[in-house]
Chains A and B, each alone.
Chain A
Amino acid sequence: MKKLLAGAAIALMGLTAPVLADDAYPERPVMMMVSYGAGGATDFQARIVTMTSGNEDALGMPIAILNKPGAGGRVGWNWLATQAEADGYTLGAYNVPHFIAQSIKGGVSYDIDSFEPIANWGADPAVLVVGADSAFNSLQDVVDFAKANPGKLTTSGAGLFVGHHIAALQMEKAGDMKIAYIPTKGGGAAAMKAVIAGEVMAGINNLSDAFRAREAGNVKILAVADLERNAFLPDVPTMMESGLDVDNASVNFRGVMVPKGTPQPIIDKLAETVPAMFENSRVQGKMKSGGSPMHVMTREEVQAMWAQRQETLTALLAGL
């Protein structure tokens, strides 16, 4: 009986493999897991960038978003690594550096080898913000204060091992100083509120949210933790320009990946069509009006970026 079943299974595999390799994929709607709640920035952007996937020049099938929030994304990524079917009909959204930093700290069932990147859609750098009436007017002011008062500079951010936290750690390392990083529960919004209300002296937040808060006249943005200035904020210098050797390791990259084991032909097909889908003018327009910086990267570029992050973050988090 067992042999018969095994035989049948092999026969089935033989039958299905060529079908999968065929151009038929996708034959039904595709699901994309987002490991944050509905309405959050990742969910919001994921819905926009996938809205044209039903078009003939894209996948030709709609992508449905499935939210699996919890524990800073760990619940969803654990699910994708261990339980999701690797048949090409389950995609996942990634947030770098979050999931890489989490896998380095341990306690989760995934690392960068559990997933295959497809394409990157967005890059949201971390920025240093202070309240509109703060005495700090430049990154140098903040660094001077932190050096004169070790551990006294209260700085809010959206949790542990997220881009904000990485940026704070990099600043401490680059400036050889000690700051009091205050992780908030409730994401970037709660961290921003702490800055505006004056509960903390400074904050590290997403560029997109900080841009909005500055438009509303609530904060000053002192520096961007990226390699070059951002198109949304041409007047704000990078941390490097201001003399603090902080690279782009904290930039929040968002993109699409699939679980390891997904058939290579499907990965190839997705890697070819998905970046083109992100370049769609309607997608670009909606993302721009929402203040979400786009940065389309191909599979090869993302693979290189992941490997580089793994290295930087392992070194950075080793001391913790």
Chain B
Amino acid sequence: MEFIFYFGDVFTPVNFALLLVGTIGGLILGATPGLSPTMAVALLIPFTFQLEATQGLILLGAAYTSTVAGGAVSAILLKIPGAPANIATTLDGHTMAQNGQGTKALQLSFLSSAVGGIFGVMLLIFLTPVLAQWALAFGPSHLFWLAILGVTVIGTLDSKSVVKGLLSGCIGLWLATIGFDDIMGAQRFIFHDALGGGINIIAALIGLFAIPQVISMFAKGRRGDGAEVMQVQKHSVFEAIRVLFRFPRALGIGMSTGAIIGLIPGVGGQIAGLVAYDQTKKFSPEREKFGKGHPEGVVAAEAANNAMVGPSLVPLLTLSIPGSPTAAVLLGGLLIHGIFPGSDLFDNHPDVAWTFINSMLIGQVLMCLFGLYVAGVAARVAQVPQSVMAAVVLGLAVFGSYSVQSSMGDVYVMAALGIMMYFLERFGFSAAPLVLGLILGPIAEANFIQGSMIANATDGLGPYFLGGALNLFLIAVVIASVAYSAWMEVRNRRYLSKEEILV
């Protein structure tokens, strides 16, 4: 309950002003393609050199929470996920925007972000010591099985056909092997200097999602510009709140998945949205609506994204180990003021620690309010003529992929993957499983190799990867997930086969 005593500190004029700046700035940075939360926070660090520790952290905390939510804006309106966390949001969110329901999609995404985010920060406040132990429980073998669990999701994610989903997942896994391998020191598939560092995930995201869309817009030609403009439906905030609570299952699955995955160091929030989306889809009675502009998909994905923010800081604040790239950047922000996260932080600087955590809580509310305010205006983006839109999205895609590492190589990678994806999409493949393969490949591979190195030096591969309660539990979930997919495939085949012939 200690945190309540420090609420007042958030509302001093300077602190609150910084909170506002961080929140609004974070929303804008988050909505800019290519600026991931990690980058946005890193960009702000030099500004905190001049501030007091508490003030600096308020700025960084507010920016972190709102960039994660802001990423949904470009995901919904432009189909450019600002960060891997927002991939799942594009699946239903962008379709809703195309149907003229952009306002509703944005409102729902901000509301579920706030609910998920507050839940996550509450976990951080009340359960930190328990959660810290849980974060440490995941070793290489467990992370390997977790990544495999993610792979089992690939087949069913956003694809009409499991086979095509698995195939695009394999392409993603292959792309993930490109580059210099840190663990074995091998160079793989480096045909060009731009590939030396591997495929950058943000550049790949922008290419895979935005470019096929740009090409289809251009491919339509110049005819009927005006006719493309659609009506953007107005949608009241109260209605949005009512819709949100029609999907308690999506909220619950989203929040719990996000919190659990956010907690595990090394996996981070990259896959929280996708896993939550897939789980919600599997449990939903309206399964077939997913991917066609179903609000439940947006709710699950965004609740998961923001629920991950709080728990992702647990390893940093308690054990002084940054569990995600963004946490590593925040660590720098703490160190600059001579504050060492860990027991030092809560014992000797409780004001800093709790003001920081409180500001994230209030930041969630502010972020939601601003988000709802701009939702109505922002959704008008859908009314921009497609010829203009295509040019703007292309410009943003180039800017976004260049800005990740100031490298033209990333722009080439983005363009190449984008053109490839355009043709793949015409054959019924989709980008989401491919990206999931790209994200999970390195996690599975690195942890398997590390695990096997440890296992070979100790008690052998079998006991290391197959022994222990947590390993067995994860393997059971993997088997259940595969069995469920197979069963669904068999059950649906009877109905689907006719439909597929018609299509």
Contacts and interface: CB of A to CB of B under 8 A. Distances in A.
A70 interface: yes
Nearest to A180: B457
A277 interface: no
A185 B405 contact: no
B446 A105 contact: no
B446 A185 contact: yes
Interface stretch (A7-15, A36-44, A117-125): A36-44
A290 B340 CA distance: 8
Nearest to A288: B338
A61 interface: no
B139 interface: yes
A153 B325 CA distance: 29
A131 B471 CA distance: 23
Given A192-B321, A216-B319, A218-B319, A70 B179 contact: yes
B38 A39 contact: yes
Given A180-B456, A291-B335, A196 B319 contact: yes
A75 to B, nearest CB: 4
Contacts of B338: 288-290
Interface stretch (B41-49, B74-82, B207-215): B41-49
A84 B266 CA distance: 33
A180, A186, A192, most chain B CB atoms within 10 A: A186
A216 B332 contact: no
Interface stretch (A154-162, A167-175, A295-303, A307-315): A154-162
A107 interface: yes
A180 B342 CA distance: 30
B406 interface: yes
A185 B49 contact: no
B236 interface: no
B322 A189 contact: yes
B185 interface: yes
B342 A39 contact: no
Nearest to A151: B457
A180 B319 contact: no
A71 B38 contact: no
A257 B328 CA distance: 26
Interface string A110-144: 00000000000000000000000000000000000
Contacts of A154: 453-454, 457-458
Contact of A215 (B137, B265, B315, B342): B342
Contacts of A183: 182-183, 450
Contacts of A69: 197, 405
B136 A78 contact: no
Contacts of B321: 189, 192-193, 196, 213
Nearest to B139: A199
B39 interface: yes
A230 interface: no
Contact of B407 (A68, A190, A196, A200): A68
A193 B41 contact: no
A182 B200 CA distance: 25
Contacts of A180: 453-454, 456-457
A216 B342 contact: yes
B336 A286 contact: yes
Interface string A72-112: 10110011000000000000000000000000010100000
B198 interface: yes
Contact of A38 (B42, B137, B344): B42
Contacts of B337: 289
A212 B453 contact: no
Contact of B336 (A43, A48, A184): A48
Given A38-B38, A40-B328, A199-B140, A216 B340 contact: yes
B343 interface: yes
B320 A212 contact: yes
B182 A289 contact: no
Interface in B18-67: 38-39, 41-43, 45-46, 49
Contacts of B198: 70-71
Contacts of B193: 78
A289 B38 contact: no
A223 to B, nearest CB: 21
Contact of A47 (B45, B183, B196, B331): B45
B414 to A, nearest CB: 15
Contacts of A66: 406
A193 B315 contact: yes
Contacts of A67: 405-406
Interface residues of A, number: 56
Nearest to A37: B325
A28 interface: no
A161 B196 contact: no
A290 B45 contact: no
A260 B407 CA distance: 21
Contacts of B136: 193, 196-197
A216 B347 CA distance: 11
B444 to A, nearest CB: 11
A159 B185 CA distance: 9
Contacts of B196: 70-71, 74-75, 78
B247 interface: no
B180 A71 contact: yes
Contacts of A291: 335, 340
Contact of B46 (A37, A47, A75, A79): A47
Interface string A193-215: 11011011000000000001101
B350 interface: no
A217 interface: yes
B179 A71 contact: yes
A10 to B, nearest CB: 30
A38 B329 contact: yes
A212 B140 contact: no
A193 B327 CA distance: 14
B385 interface: no
A218 B454 contact: no
B442 interface: yes
A20 interface: no
A257 B305 CA distance: 41
Interface string B241-258: 000000000000000000
A171 to B, nearest CB: 15
A215 B342 CA distance: 8
Given A39-B42, A44-B332, A291-B335, A190 B266 contact: yes
Given A38-B43, A160-B183, A180-B457, 10 more contacts: A43-B332, A44-B45, A48-B49, A70-B198, A71-B198, A153-B457, A160-B185, A216-B342, A288-B338, A292-B335
19 contacts: A38-B38, A38-B43, A39-B41, A39-B329, A69-B197, A70-B180, A71-B180, A71-B197, A75-B196, A154-B457, A180-B453, A193-B321, A196-B321, A197-B136, A212-B340, A212-B341, A213-B321, A290-B335, A291-B340
